[in-house]
């Protein structure tokens, strides 16, 4: 596999879920996979502070035919921006 290969995905609506509850609503997001590591950068629309601190969290974004889903491994949450490290995609 080419070590310089990077993959980027982006969208305009997504959520961080705690179980079936929406912990964080995202307005715009992008995911970059570089050297086997998935990183999420997003603009935050709404946060439930309690639920955002719970684990496990799942990043979910709609796509044609279903949803993309990644487990959230680490999360840095600001007032308007979010940075997260994601595990391998589940769907």
pLDDT in tens, 57-73: 999 999 999 999 999 99
The percent of residues above 70 in pLDDT, for the chain, comes to 93
Alpha helices by DSSP H, 1-91: 49-52
User: Mean pLDDT across the chain, nearest whole number?
Assistant: 92
Q: Torsion angle, CA of 87/61/54/48, rounded to 10 degrees?
A: 150
Q: How confident is the model at residue 2 (pLDDT cuts 50, 70, 90)?
A: very low
Phi, psi values for residue 50, rounded to 5°:
-65, -50
pTM of the predicted structure, to 2 decimals: 0.90
Residue 28 three-state SS: strand
Q: Which domains does the chain have, with CATH numbers?
A: 6-86 (2.40.10)
Task: Grade residue 4 by pLDDT with cuts at 50, 70 and 90.
Answer: low
Q: How confident is the model at residue 44 (pLDDT cuts 50, 70, 90)?
A: very high
Task: Judge contact between 29 and 41, C-beta under 8 A.
Answer: yes
């Amino acid at each position: 596999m080419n070590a310089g290969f990077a993959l980027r995905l982006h969208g305009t609506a997504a959520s961080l879920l705690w179980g079936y509850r929406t912990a964080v609503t995202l307005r715009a997001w992008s995911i970059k996979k570089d050297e086997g590591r998935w990183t999420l950068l997003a603009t935050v629309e709404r946060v439930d502070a309690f639920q955002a601190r719970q684990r496990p969290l799942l990043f979910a974004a709609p796509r044609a035919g279903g949803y993309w889903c990644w487990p959230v491994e680490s999360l840095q949450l600001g007032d308007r921006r979010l940075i997260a490290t994601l595990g391998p995609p589940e769907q």
